[in-house]
Amino acid sequence: MAPSGPGSVRRRCRRVLYWIPVVFISLLLGWSYYAYAIQLCIVSMENVGEQVVCLIAYHLLFAMFVWSYWKTIFTLPMNPSKEFHLSYAEKELLEREPRGEAHQEVLRRAAKDLPIYTRTMSGAIRYCDRCQLIKPDRCHHCSVCDKCILKMDHHCPWVNNCVGFSNYKFFLLFLAYSLLYCLFIAATDLQYFIKFWTNGLPDTQAKFHIMFLFFAAAMFSVSLSSLFGYHCWLVSKNKSTLEAFRSPVFRHGTDKNGFSLGFSKNMRQVFGDEKKYWLLPIFSSLGDGCSFPTCLVNQDPEQASTPAGLNSTSKNPENHQFPAKPLRESQSHLLTDSPSWTESGTNPGKGKAGMSNPALTMENET
């Protein structure tokens, strides 16, 4: 093995430091369990019925919170599949060509059969020099992970992970259950907080825990409600956080609603077709993360062929035209009005809820 240098030591130190927010949340969650379940429910509550109801409801919310948080942290971000990587010959040709039109011509030839609709601000093919691949739509390079992440939303320090295609549903559920967790604690703790605050109950060890628990739950409820509301709006518009700040650029120009298919289909793209899986931290998102239905205002002149069964002049509710370039089967079904989704590929289990994330190359932890 090669000896580790100063750079390797710095990287290891950064990796340890990146876990500090996760450790903080975990310790806070452990203390809240002790404060609520032990000090509030068992020590302070005198009504047995109230104890039982509060403990059952609390443990359900606690379990869903921990489950969704765990899945958000430990679901590895996904990188583009092999077809988006340049071949050895294309890499050599790209290195020989100077930056400019010749450079772009190599990329255009490599991308001609890929389901790519977005471009850079200058209209060029989106290419990642570090990963040496053509970026799929909505894919971005994360400087923290040093990887290209499919449908990257943002890098979240509180989960020490990139939030993207593979775990965006888990992140939304984490926000939802953490908000419900805090609201439930604040609501059931309020009367005991008031009693301790007005000296209606004797000073005990539980007083500090119950009073601080209410303050913490109320404070986190405010911040989580705004963050959860913002991401609900993003889902309804089929946008990522990055796309909300910088609209995607297509051949015809910038289009902030280029990926929006309407509220219902936008929801299905994240949560899937089967509603029984919506509230569970189980992967059920539609598609492969590499291609997405688009609602282009104008047709891309470079995308000449129309996929079978799709009318290139069909309109969505916002009167946008659908692209002519073939989509993945796992996404093109969203262009139809059928209420359910079935995968017609050779692998009948691909993309079903509860299964592993479909047909993608997953980044290995290094």
Neighbours of 79 (CB within 10 A): 28
Task: Give yes or no for a contact between 288 and 330, defined as CB atoms under 8 angstroms apart.
Answer: yes
Q: Which residues are catalytic?
A: 156
Q: What is the rounded CA–CA span in Å between residue 315 and residue 89?
A: 41
Q: What is the rounded CA–CA span in Å between residue 272 and residue 265?
A: 9
Encoding tokens for residue 62?
Answer: 């606690």
Task: Give yes or no for a contact between 94 and 103, defined as CB atoms under 8 angstroms apart.
Answer: yes
Task: Give yes or no for a contact between 142 and 149, defined as CB atoms under 8 angstroms apart.
Answer: yes
Query: Which residues have a Cβ under 8 Å from the Cβ of 300 and sit 6 or more positions away?
Result: 117, 250, 251, 252, 323, 324, 325
Task: Give yes or no for a contact between 125 and 55, defined as CB atoms under 8 angstroms apart.
Answer: no
- What is the length of the chain? 366
Task: Give yes or no for a contact between 318 and 261, defined as CB atoms under 8 angstroms apart.
Answer: no
Q: What is the rounded CA–CA span in Å between residue 91 and residue 87?
A: 6
CA-nearest of 360, 335, 319 to 269 is 335
